[in-house]
Chains A and B, each alone.
Chain A
Amino acid sequence: MADTDNIAVQCKGVTKTYGSGSTLVHALRGVDLEVRTGELMMLVGPSGSGKTTLISIIAGVLGRDDGECIVFGHDFRHMSHYEKTRYRGQNIGFVFQLFNLIPTLSAAENVAVPLIINGVKRREAIGRACEILSRVGLGDRTYSPPTQLSGGQQQRVAIARALLHNPKLIVCDEPTSALDHETGHKIMELLHDVAVGVDRALIVVTHDARIFEFADRIAKMDDGHILSVENSNYRLTNKKKN
């Protein structure tokens, strides 16, 4: 049994349905999942298997129908709408498939958004955004708008945005699906290097088999169930290399 202090996310019997009557869809049919701190958990499976629904519930952007989902000791069901929103703002980072960078803001301004939402002054937030952009190799593109950045660069900006406010949990939805193989690999290396910390967890939804090697554990999903959770040897391999 895992040490409860090391558990970032614990889902038990989580169910979720969409629609009603003849259009009822069972997206999750009683999902049990445990994500530990310092871990990169990958959720894999075919389209419609419930991966995105599960991370939406874990990230607190979607309500569940039944079951239990505890994120760093907090159950979103017991929070008000406002508390949930504030908790997300302070503790959860997001990386999206289509980056979701605001096109009219510069890279630095996009990265600074989570800090500004949390009440940090604009100038200070942008200063810190510039620092983290340098860490992800975009120090020279801080004032470029997303439209002037390549897909890989945009995803690096999105990762910087997810990291800037030092969240406990980072959820990534198909972070490499819009990128070529080489860029996807670089992005995953970057995510793993900068995002996984002792008291932090990272959940990546993907069906891109080329990046499975970056996971610490892989949860396979199908038809709203977790079929299996397997260990991966990425970190071990990397440690050996170093």
Chain B
Amino acid sequence: MNFIALKMLVGNRARYLSIVIGLTFASLLITQQSAIFMGLMTRTFGFLTDTALPDIWVMDPKVQYIDDIKPLKETESIRVRSVEGVAWAVPLYKGLLKARLSNGTFQTCNVIGLDDETLIGGPPRMLQGKLSELRRSDAIIVNDIGAAGKLATVLPDGRRVPLKIGDTMELNDHRAVVVGICQVQRTFQSQPVVYTTYSRATVFAPRERKLLSFVAAKAKPGQDFHTLCQRICKTTGLAAYTKDEFKKLTIRYYMKYTGIPVNFGTTVVLGFIVGIAIAGQTFFSFTLDNLRYFGTLKAMGATDRVLLQMILLQAALVGSIGYGLGVGTASALGTLLGRTELSFLLTWQLLLVSASAVMVICAVSAILSMRKVIRLEPAVVFQS
């Protein structure tokens, strides 16, 4: 009976296409918006992803997320280093500083100050120059997107000339020389990322009593991270998180205190409603259109189970095609716009979520249709 079910479905081209298009849009909206949301959330902790070496991040206990800097005393890194089980601990500066460009305009930059001696916490990939060049006077390393974008020089004819090695700029009225171009994760605020040494960053930064943002620490081999975190907390009175815990803390903040989840959630729900409204309703109408034929099959000896299988097969087919097209289109858009500001992260979990949503839409449509067919009196076949 499968081929009859499929021919009934595919043969009614207008209805078939409407259902598939409805499901495609639902799947596209759900997948794409969720992927953008995931991308944005990933950007919130991009700095942690880039800074792979430390196992443990130590900070003020009141810090709520990665950009919520509550400075510590310079000596805290030494205290952390002295905790049993810590292999090393380095100071890190992270702050937003204003850069004055060659054309006189200002641009806020995300400045990272690395430990002067070890340069631990540097960018994951250098495109031009070397990390060690940071030891030169006034040296900074700029990320490629920032150099080609917000830090680029705009010529009178509108062309943009990217910042390159040897160029200078002012960071909070201090001269800075570009010695390298690196590649890092895009940040949530899409600001240019500037790497320099810790001591130089504290010179660039406005004067404050305390300037240390984080202490990045490495556990000795065999140390349990959670136990070590607890030990650091107990010894120093500071908060200590593993990398994953710090990521979760950051995401939790954005989820709780920003409207991002609501905004994206609304669109995802909208996609779901579009799916139910268009695809579900059209699928139900398709069943109603074919009620006479289902009745005929019933009269001719097709059992309820067979008819239900037919409807499920039809729902599964349109669901699979709609889901495939939706996810495919979302992936294509993500790939096409991958080089733009668009944040897009399509994970297998999202594919599952989208598939589940489409499955629910199809199941609801199929259940409504099945109820109609089950309740159908085969005597309907004699009604003219």
Residues of A within 8 A of B (CB): 52, 55-56, 59, 61-62, 81-82, 85-90, 94, 96-98, 100, 102-105, 109, 113-114, 116-118, 122, 173-174
Are the C-beta atoms of A113 and B299 separated by less than 8 Å? no
User: Which of B47-55, B174-182, B196-204, B376-384 lies at the binding interface?
Assistant: B376-384
Query: A56 contacts which chain B residues (CB < 8 A)?
Result: 379, 382
Query: A81 contacts which chain B residues (CB < 8 A)?
Result: 304
* Most B CB within 10 A of own CB, among A56, A82, A174: A56
| Residue ID in chain A nearest B302 by CB atoms | A117
In the bound complex, CA of A82 to CA of B302 (Å): 9
Are the C-beta atoms of A61 and B379 separated by less than 8 Å? yes
Number of A-B residue pairs with CB-CB distance less than 8 Å in the complex they form: 82
Q: Which of A61, A87, A104, A174 contacts B378 (CB 8 A)?
A: A61
Asked if B7 is an interface residue, CB under 8 A from chain A, the answer is: yes
| Residue ID in chain A nearest B305 by CB atoms | A82
| The 7 nearest A-B residue pairs measured at CB | A89-B301, A104-B11, A61-B378, A62-B379, A100-B296, A56-B379, A61-B379
Query: A113 contacts which chain B residues (CB < 8 A)?
Result: 4, 297, 300
Q: Which of A89, A94, A103 contacts B11 (CB 8 A)?
A: A103
Query: B11 contacts which chain A residues (CB < 8 A)?
Result: 103-105
User: Interface residues of B, CB < 8 Å — how many?
Assistant: 26
Query: B8 contacts which chain A residues (CB < 8 A)?
Result: 102, 104-105
Are the C-beta atoms of A96 and B4 separated by less than 8 Å? no
Are the C-beta atoms of A117 and B1 separated by less than 8 Å? yes
Query: A102-B8, A109-B4 given as contacts; is B377 within 8 A of A94 (CB)?
Result: no
In the bound complex, CA of A85 to CA of B297 (Å): 10
A16 to chain B, nearest CB (A): 10
| Residue ID in chain A nearest B301 by CB atoms | A89
| Residue ID in chain A nearest B303 by CB atoms | A85
Are the C-beta atoms of B377 and A116 separated by less than 8 Å? no
Are the C-beta atoms of B382 and A61 separated by less than 8 Å? yes
* Most A CB within 10 A of own CB, among B8, B11, B292, B301: B301
Given contacts A100-B293, A100-B381, A117-B306, 12 further A-B contacts (CB under 8 A): A62-B378, A88-B378, A89-B300, A94-B300, A96-B296, A97-B382, A102-B8, A102-B293, A104-B11, A109-B7, A114-B301, A117-B301
